[in-house]
């Protein structure tokens, strides 16, 4: 069986996030850090998981804006 006909569904890559951000998201969304971890590795795909991934993206974009590159 080649890859194009594989019955296994492919998922996006896990979202890498510092633990402090995971704790922050868990507090903001009133859930456990374990729930955040599972959402970031695409183990679950509930509405809460989608909110977690969205918030993780927001936090990472905020961090990226803080980076200054001097040429």
pLDDT tens, residue by residue, 52-70: 999 999 999 999 999 988 8
Please indicate, yes or no, if residue 56 is contained in any of the structural domains. Answer: yes
Domain presence at residue 6: no
For the full predicted model, state whether its pTM sits above 0.85: no
Using CB atoms within 10 A of its CB, is residue 39 exposed (0-12), middle (13-18) or buried (19+)?
buried
The string of pLDDT tens digits covering residues 18-37 is: 999 999 999 999 999 999 99
**Residue 3: predicted pLDDT:** 54
Structural domain that includes position 46: 15-65
Q: What is the domain count for the chain?
A: 1
Cβ–Cβ under 8 Å, residues 50 and 36: no
């Amino acid at each position: 069986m080649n890859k194009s006909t594989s019955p296994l569904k492919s998922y996006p890559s896990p979202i890498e996030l510092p633990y402090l951000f995971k704790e922050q998201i868990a507090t903001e969304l009133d859930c456990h850090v374990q729930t955040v971890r599972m959402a970031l590795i695409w183990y679950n795909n509930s509405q809460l998981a989608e909110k977690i991934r969205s918030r993780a993206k927001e936090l990472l974009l905020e961090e990226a804006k803080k980076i200054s590159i001097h040429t």
